[in-house]
């Protein structure tokens, strides 16, 4: 490396550029090594012998030390009148043997499988969750239950109340009576979502229960996205003055979201159009309008295809395995 650096200097390459080319700083390349640096460094007089270091390693690997960090066992040895070396030496010996890691027997958490749910039509997979709405005073909250069809993004159920497992069951009965029994109901692992009454209802109706992994919000993306839309509309207040006020806002939001909100995830259709099968006629009318504009202003269009944002997806996924493979690649 140094030879290459000096060769670059011979052919009139500036020092700074030459140092960058060989990947070493200019100061390092110009430093003259002293005889002291070239000579072998003598061992320090306080260095532990091989036998002493092996004794430390044996002690640290003993059953008595397995549930203690080195500093705790170091203190216990001192309490017993034993000195094998400094605490830094303990860690140094462990590092040399690649043993600096958690040595205690820790509780093993059960690995949760990633939920993989696909919906190709409305009414197949419903997702629901609960969010807090700030009440009239600090510490007072109302619980907003929202259940959404992941394919059409249609809000099939919305309630504002105090959190209750019985309310969750009543909400599901009402939704299933109006919109039909779905194939899967997906939720996180909140208190209401995991109650036996909810589980019993879904089991009786032969509806598959699906749950997010603990502390993984991406496993319930449709409900999380819906809550963000709810709380970022201009009309969302800092606090609700009463339960009635919160319910009135909920009704107005659901009406707007289902029938006026042109959702980017479903080809800029409204959830109601997709849920009730009106999206194809809307898409056909849009295509006719674009075709007429294309014929009138051909120079403004680079392709004969409609914009991709107007296309309806073939399916809605929660944790599409194909996307995970692409991300890993």
Instruction: Residue 196: give its domain's CATH number.
Output: 3.30.420.10
Q: How far apart are CA 208 and CA 301, in angstroms?
A: 47
Let me know whether 84 and 160 are in one domain.
no
Let me know whether 70 and 163 are in one domain.
no
Q: Is residue 255 part of a domain?
A: yes
Strand 117-119 and strand 316-318: pairing? antiparallel
Let me know whether 205 and 147 are in one domain.
yes
Let me know whether 277 and 297 are in one domain.
yes
Instruction: Return the beta strands (E) in 150-264 as ranges.
Output: 155-161, 184-187, 208-211
pLDDT value, residue 215:
81
Let me know whether 21 and 83 are in one domain.
no
Q: How far apart are CA 224 and CA 206, in angstroms?
A: 26
**Domain edge (last residue) among 260, 281, 307:** 260
Let me know whether 231 and 288 are in one domain.
no
Three-state DSSP class for residue 130:
strand
pLDDT value, residue 12:
87
Distance of CA 116 to the CA centre of its chain: 15
Let me know whether 245 and 156 are in one domain.
yes
With contact defined as beta carbons under 8 Å apart, do 85 and 51 qualify?
Answer: no
Structure tokens at 64: 């008595």
Q: Is residue 43 part of a domain?
A: no
Let me know whether 131 and 215 are in one domain.
yes
Q: At what angle do helices 70-79 and 87-96 cross, to 10 degrees?
A: 130
pLDDT value, residue 225:
94
- pLDDT by residue for the chain (329 residues), tens digit each? 778 888 888 888 888 888 888 888 888 877 755 444 555 677 788 888 889 999 999 988 888 887 778 888 889 889 989 899 898 998 889 888 888 766 566 677 777 788 899 999 999 999 999 999 999 999 999 999 999 999 999 999 999 987 666 788 889 999 999 999 999 999 988 888 888 889 999 999 999 999 998 888 788 999 999 999 999 999 999 999 999 999 999 999 999 999 999 999 999 999 999 999 999 999 999 999 999 999 999 999 988 899 999 999 999 999 888 876 555 55
pLDDT value, residue 327:
56
Let me know whether 276 and 181 are in one domain.
no
What number of residues does the chain have? 329
Q: Is 114 exposed, middle or buried (0-12, 13-18, 19+ CB in 10 A)?
A: middle
Let me know whether 300 and 168 are in one domain.
no
Residue identified by tokens 């190709």 is 120
pLDDT value, residue 36:
42
Let me know whether 177 and 237 are in one domain.
yes
pLDDT value, residue 165:
67
DSSP state of 65: G
Let me know whether 163 and 236 are in one domain.
yes
Q: Quick one: how many helices (H) and strands (E) in the chain?
A: 14, 7
Whole domain around residue 59: which residue ranges?
50-96
With contact defined as beta carbons under 8 Å apart, do 181 and 208 qualify?
Answer: no
Total domains present in the chain: 4
């Amino acid at each position: 490396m140094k030879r290459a650096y000096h060769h670059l200097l011979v052919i009139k390459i500036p020092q700074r550029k030459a140092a960058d080319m060989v990947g070493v700083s200019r100061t390092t390349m110009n430093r003259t090594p002293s005889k002291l640096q070239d000579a072998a460094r003598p061992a320090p007089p306080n260095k532990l012998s091989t036998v002493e270091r092996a004794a430390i390693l044996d002690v640290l690997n003993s059953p008595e030390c397995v549930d203690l960090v080195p500093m705790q066992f170091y203190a216990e040895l001192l309490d017993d009148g034993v000195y094998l070396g400094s605490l830094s030496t303990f860690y140094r010996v462990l590092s040399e043997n690649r043993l600096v890691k958690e040595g205690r027997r820790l509780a093993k958490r059960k690995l949760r499988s990633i939920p993989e749910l696909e919906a190709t039509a409305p009414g197949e997979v419903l997702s629901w969750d609960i969010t807090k709405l700030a009440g009239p005073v600090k510490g007072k909250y109302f619980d907003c239950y929202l259940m959404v069809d992941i394919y059409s993004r249609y809000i099939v159920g919305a309630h504002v109340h105090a959190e209750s497992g019985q309310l969750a069951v009543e909400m599901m009965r009402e939704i299933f009576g109006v919109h039909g029994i779905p194939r899967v109901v997906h939720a996180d692992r909140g208190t209401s979502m995991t109650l036996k009454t909810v589980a019993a209802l879904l089991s009786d109706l032969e509806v598959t229960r699906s749950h997010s992994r603990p502390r993984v919000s991406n496993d319930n993306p449709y409900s999380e996205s819906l809550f963000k839309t709810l709380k970022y509309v201009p009309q969302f207040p800092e606090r609700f003055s009463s339960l009635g006020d919160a319910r009135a806002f909920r009704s107005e939001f659901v009406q707007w979201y289902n029938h006026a909100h042109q959702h980017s995830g479903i080809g800029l259709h409204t959830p109601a159009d997709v849920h009730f099968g009106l999206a194809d006629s809307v898409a056909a009318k849009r295509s006719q309008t674009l075709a007429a504009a294309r014929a009138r202003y051909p120079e403004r269009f680079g392709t004969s295809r409609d914009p991709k944002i107007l296309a309806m997806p073939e399916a809605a996924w929660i944790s599409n395995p194909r996307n995970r493979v692409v991300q890993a690649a």
